[in-house]
């Protein structure tokens, strides 16, 4: 970017000298151009940004609160300095103003090949050929660039394409040509040629979908932006190493969007309309269905990196529309769906309408979770169905699992995780016949029930994390910044997608081509500072109202870093088990005194619990065991109440100590000590009368301090300090009675 601005500076300086003599002629006598700058943009442009008053748009952006935040970063700070340097020249010279100020500018992203794209700049000077003859001559004397000219001839005429090659960097090239009143500039000569070949085709005016969408926003704010969905899949393929199903769905469904661009405090806002492609698709099935209310975020972990929602007023209507779309436009896929339905209905004997459709509510959502170290990038997803009757959903899923078990020899035992039963759906591609390809990545999932939602995931670990965070209140509904961001969108939606960039960054990095990862890493903090990005389509007849908002948050990087450390420290900590007293053993009042034991099996072989009963209460030392025989806990009771030191162990042959806790009358006192499975200390937390109260320390597996702070009557209080794994102090948070204090 800096080299382009350097070139532009040279062009302005020399242009002022060379064109100065033509000032009066240009202003009053030169003929106006005949080419519409918009038609110089090739028809395979992915996006087009248009402004008729560049200086006014720049002035508005420059004065915005968002831009003032951005220029505090090195990248945007350097960019701002260069732009201001150019702007100073424009403001201080009348000839420069005439040539370059208040002109129509179009910037387009154009596919130069199936896996490459580049920019095309079209500047409509509206000054006639004399101006261009002058500019053509002055290019030869631009310092630092080697100039070569190539003749390009087609049915539209004969053109000269000028190539400027940086003498210090031969890889950096700029291509320029003059087409009547329009200056075309690109970093790719092939794009310039493509533009010249289509110069008089009027291809945009002939495109009915494009004309239709243009009419939706006759007036613009700062910029008018057009998106060409037919090319968006190819465009995203230049950034990612694998297909994104949400992007593919939009690319195959929509034709164009037209959006106004604006800035407001810390947000970039694009709002407008999108229209449907002529070919039937997933989104077509939603077009004539009333939007539904977003709600799945209420129970989902705040470690969600992305949230894709499909909402509707009537699932049956959506499903029937979807099946019709497949039948009419994708007959081969329709056959596969029919085979899947036939297997479920006639072979496995599942009553689809009663056991599944009857309880589906108004939203189906896909969540991508910040990846855990133990979970692959393909498994860190969750699929959530909102229900209109959770009891009917439980009965229906139980019946589905029952029938699948009859048909399959595979056996899976449901298990309880913190009072949430986790089951297993052993059936490949179960959801594809009902929800289309978007959710086919959920294959043979585990599932559980949370409030009015059925939550599925390919990974048990992800389900457990979702449950952990739900219990602890770490959900998106409790995230004040996400909630505030959500308020900027419609409550009822057709399709919504929200990206929480700090949590999405690890996945983005993973799927970025290796050659581009260094650039991504260099700008990591800047990328994460655009903390929340939201996109929403709301059906409105044959159109969709469209909103895209990117929210800048200068604190996002460090807030996420400290949040991640705290989540790691808290989510895997054993205190939830201690605080809830979930380990305590109790009996009915009529139990016999003496030795007691319970077993895992009917043969009384593998002991689960053993100890002594006195007055129908556990008394003395009680041991619990894992199913493989390893000791799980050793707890001392005094007539039913825990007293003394209790020990908890990992499930291994070495009986590795997991936690050591002192109790007095069922209440934790003194220092709670927890350890990693390698024996290293994990946490030390001071308790008083069963409540966290005093110093708290959390450690890395290496033994280095991770977080240190204090609790006051169970609430965070005072300074909490966060450290990197190598001991560097990252940041300090200040708390008072459980509330984080804002920095002054």
Tens digits of residue pLDDT in 525-550: 778 888 999 999 999 877 899 999 99
pLDDT tens-digit readout, 447-456 = 999 999 999 9
- CB atoms under 10 Å from CB of 285, counted, come to 23
C-alpha–C-alpha distance, residues 115 and 676, integer Å:
47
Bridge partners for 594 per DSSP: 613
Q: What is the pLDDT of residue 128?
A: 45
C-alpha–C-alpha distance, residues 152 and 139, integer Å:
18
151-160, 390-399, 636-645, 652-661: range with lowest mean pLDDT: 151-160
C-alpha–C-alpha distance, residues 539 and 286, integer Å:
7
Q: To the nearest whole number, what is the mean pLDDT of the chain?
A: 81
C-alpha–C-alpha distance, residues 190 and 196, integer Å:
10
Q: What is the DSSP letter of 355?
A: H
CA-to-CA dists, residue 315 to 291, 340, 435, angstroms: 11, 19, 10
133-142, 185-194, 666-675, 677-686: range with lowest mean pLDDT: 133-142
User: Higher confidence at residue 306 or residue 408?
Assistant: 306
Q: Is 60 exceeded by the pLDDT of residue 5?
A: no
C-alpha–C-alpha distance, residues 46 and 462, integer Å:
36
Contact 22, 94 (CB under 8 A): no
Query: pLDDT confidence of 571, banded at 50, 70, 90?
Result: low
**What are 730's two structure tokens?**
């990252």
Residue by residue, DSSP assigns 194-251 as HHHHTTTS-HHHH-HHHHHHHTT--S-SSEEEEEEGGGHHHHHHTT-SS--HHHHHHH
Instruction: Specify the fold of 573-740.
Output: Outer Surface Protein A; domain 3 (3.90.930)
C-alpha–C-alpha distance, residues 639 and 651, integer Å:
28
Q: What is the pLDDT of residue 17?
A: 38
Sign of the Cα torsion 296, 297, 301, 305 reads: positive
C-alpha–C-alpha distance, residues 44 and 108, integer Å:
10
Q: Is 90 exceeded by the pLDDT of residue 590?
A: no
38-42, 341-345, 728-732: range with lowest mean pLDDT: 341-345
Q: What is the pLDDT of residue 12?
A: 45
Q: What is the pLDDT of residue 719?
A: 93
Residues of the chain with pLDDT > 70: what percent?
80
Section 126-130 average pLDDT:
50
CA-to-CA dists, residue 377 to 329, 455, 511, 622, angstroms: 32, 19, 9, 42
Q: What is the pLDDT of residue 320?
A: 87
Q: What is the pLDDT of residue 55?
A: 67
Q: Output the CA torsion 109→113→115→119 (10° steps).
A: -20
7-16, 90-99, 102-111: range with lowest mean pLDDT: 7-16
Q: What is the pLDDT of residue 140?
A: 60
C-alpha–C-alpha distance, residues 176 and 499, integer Å:
38
49-58, 315-324, 469-478: range with lowest mean pLDDT: 49-58
Q: Is 80 exceeded by the pLDDT of residue 241?
A: no
Section 274-301 average pLDDT:
85
Q: What is the pLDDT of residue 334?
A: 79
Q: What is the pTM of this model?
A: 0.72
Q: Is 90 exceeded by the pLDDT of residue 307?
A: yes
pLDDT tens-digit readout, 177-215 = 888 778 888 889 999 999 999 988 888 888 888 888 888
Section 581-588 average pLDDT:
82
Q: What is the pLDDT of residue 18?
A: 36
Q: Is 80 exceeded by the pLDDT of residue 661?
A: yes
Cα 461 to the chain's mean position, in Å? 20
The CA-based angle 129-135-140, given to 5 degrees, is: 140
Contact 435, 286 (CB under 8 A): no
CA-to-CA dists, residue 523 to 303, 473, 517, angstroms: 22, 32, 10
Helix (H) or strand (E) holding 507: helix 501-511
Instruction: Choose from 211-215, 293-297, 702-706, 726-730 the range with maximum mean pLDDT.
Output: 293-297
Q: What is the DSSP letter of 588?
A: -
Query: pLDDT confidence of 26, banded at 50, 70, 90?
Result: very low
Q: Is 80 exceeded by the pLDDT of residue 706?
A: yes
pLDDT tens-digit readout, 419-454 = 899 988 776 667 766 666 666 667 778 899 999 999
Q: What is the pLDDT of residue 565?
A: 78
> In terms of Cα–Cα distance, which of 116, 454, 133 is closest to 299?
454
Q: What is the pLDDT of residue 216?
A: 83
Q: What is the DSSP letter of 385?
A: E
User: In the chain, where are the structural domains located?
Assistant: 2-206, 245-567, 573-740
Please compute, for residue 124, the number of CA atoms within 13 A of its CA located in the half-sphere on the CB side.
20
List the beta strands (DSSP E) in 247-359.
254-264, 267-276, 292-293, 304-311
Q: Is 60 exceeded by the pLDDT of residue 611?
A: yes
Query: pLDDT confidence of 630, banded at 50, 70, 90?
Result: very high
Q: Is 50 exceeded by the pLDDT of residue 7?
A: no
Q: Is 60 exceeded by the pLDDT of residue 112?
A: yes
Contact 301, 470 (CB under 8 A): yes
C-alpha–C-alpha distance, residues 232 and 251, integer Å:
6
> In terms of Cα–Cα distance, which of 385, 390, 382 is closest to 463?
382
Q: What is the pLDDT of residue 23?
A: 39
C-alpha–C-alpha distance, residues 446 and 455, integer Å:
8
Section 608-630 average pLDDT:
92
Residues in the chain: 744
> In terms of Cα–Cα distance, which of 492, 438, 494, 546 is closest to 287?
494
Contact 369, 382 (CB under 8 A): yes
> In terms of Cα–Cα distance, which of 382, 381, 414 is closest to 398?
414
User: Higher confidence at residue 253 or residue 26?
Assistant: 253
User: Higher confidence at residue 2 or residue 384?
Assistant: 384
């Amino acid at each position: 970017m800096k080299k382009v601005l350097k070139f532009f500076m040279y062009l302005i300086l020399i242009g002022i000298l060379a064109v100065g003599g033509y000032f009066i002629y240009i202003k009053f006598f030169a003929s106006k151009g005949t080419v519409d700058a918009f038609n110089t943009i090739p028809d395979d442009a992915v996006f087009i940004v248009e402004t008729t008053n560049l200086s006014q748009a720049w002035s508005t952006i420059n004065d915005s609160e968002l831009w003032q935040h951005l220029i505090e970063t090195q990248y945007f700070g350097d960019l701002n300095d260069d732009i201001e340097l150019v702007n100073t020249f424009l403001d201080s010279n009348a000839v420069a103003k005439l040539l370059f100020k208040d002109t129509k500018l179009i910037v387009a992203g154009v596919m130069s090949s199936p896996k490459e794209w580049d920019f095309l700049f079209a500047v409509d000077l509206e000054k006639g050929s004399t101006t261009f003859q002058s500019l053509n001559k002055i290019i030869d004397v631009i310092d630092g660039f080697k100039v070569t000219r190539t003749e390009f001839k087609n049915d539209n005429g004969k053109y000269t394409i000028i190539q400027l090659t940086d003498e210090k960097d031969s890889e950096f090239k700029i291509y320029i040509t003059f087409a009547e009143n329009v200056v075309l500039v690109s970093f790719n000569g092939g794009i310039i040629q493509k533009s010249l070949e289509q110069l008089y085709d009027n291809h945009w005016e002939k495109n009915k979908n494009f004309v239709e969408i243009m009419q939706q926003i006759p007036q613009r704010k700062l910029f008018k932006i057009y998106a060409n969905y037919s090319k968006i899949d190819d465009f995203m393929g230049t950034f990612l190493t694998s297909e994104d199903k949400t992007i593919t769905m939009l690319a195959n469904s929509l034709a164009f969007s037209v959006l106004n661009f604006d800035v407001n405090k810390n947000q970039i806002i694009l709002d407008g309309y999108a229209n449907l492609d002529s070919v039937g698709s997933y989104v077509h099935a939603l077009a004539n269905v009333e939007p539904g209310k977003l709600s799945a975020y209420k129970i989902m972990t705040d470690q969600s990196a992305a949230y894709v929602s499909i909402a509707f007023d009537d699932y049956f209507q959506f499903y029937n529309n979807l099946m019709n779309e497949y039948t009419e436009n994708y007959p081969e896929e329709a056959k596969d769906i029919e085979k899947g339905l036939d297997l479920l209905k006639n072979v496995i004997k599942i009553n689809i309408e009663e056991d599944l459709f009857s309880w589906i509510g108004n939203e189906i959502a896909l969540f991508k979770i910040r990846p855990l170290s133990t979970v692959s990038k393909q498994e860190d997803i969750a699929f959530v169905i909102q229900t209109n009757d959770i009891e009917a959903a439980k009965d229906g899923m139980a019946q589905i699992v029952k029938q699948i078990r009859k048909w399959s020899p595979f056996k899976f035992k449901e298990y309880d995780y913190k009072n949430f039963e986790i089951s297993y759906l052993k059936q490949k591609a179960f959801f594809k016949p009902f929800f289309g390809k978007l959710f086919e990545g959920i294959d043979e999932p585990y599932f559980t029930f949370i409030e009015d939602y059925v939550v599925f995931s390919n990974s048990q670990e992800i389900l457990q994390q979702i449950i952990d965070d739900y219990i602890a209140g770490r959900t998106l509904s409790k995230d004040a910044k996400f909630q505030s961001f959500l308020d900027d969108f419609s409550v009822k939606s057709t399709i919504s997608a929200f990206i929480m960039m700090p949590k999405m960054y690890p996945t983005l990095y993973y799927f970025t081509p290796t050659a581009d990862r260094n650039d991504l890493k260099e700008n990591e903090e800047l990328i994460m500072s655009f903390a929340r990005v939201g996109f929403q389509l709301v059906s409105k007849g044959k159109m969709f109202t469209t909103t895209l908002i990117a929210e800048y948050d200068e604190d996002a990087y460090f807030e996420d870093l400290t949040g991640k450390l705290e989540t790691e420290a808290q989510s895997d900590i054993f205190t939830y088990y201690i605080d809830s007293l979930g380990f305590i053993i109790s009996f009915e009042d009529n139990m016999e005194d003496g030795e007691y034991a319970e077993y895992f099996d009917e043969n009384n072989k593998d002991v689960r619990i053993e100890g002594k009963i006195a007055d129908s209460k556990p008394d003395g030392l009680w041991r619990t065991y894992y199913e493989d025989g390893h000791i799980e806990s050793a707890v001392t009771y005094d007539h039913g109440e825990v007293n003394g030191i209790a020990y908890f162990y990992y499930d291994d042959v070495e009986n590795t100590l997991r936690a050591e806790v002192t109790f007095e009358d069922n209440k934790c006192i003194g220092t709670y000590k927890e350890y990693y499975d390698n024996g290293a200390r994990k946490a030390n937390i001071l308790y008083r009368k069963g409540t966290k109260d005093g110093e708290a320390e959390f450690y890395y597996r290496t033994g280095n301090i991770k977080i240190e702070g204090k609790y006051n009557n169970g609430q965070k209080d005072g300074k909490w300090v966060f450290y990197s794994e190598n001991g560097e102090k990252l940041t300090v948070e200040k708390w008072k009675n459980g509330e984080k204090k804002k920095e002054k």
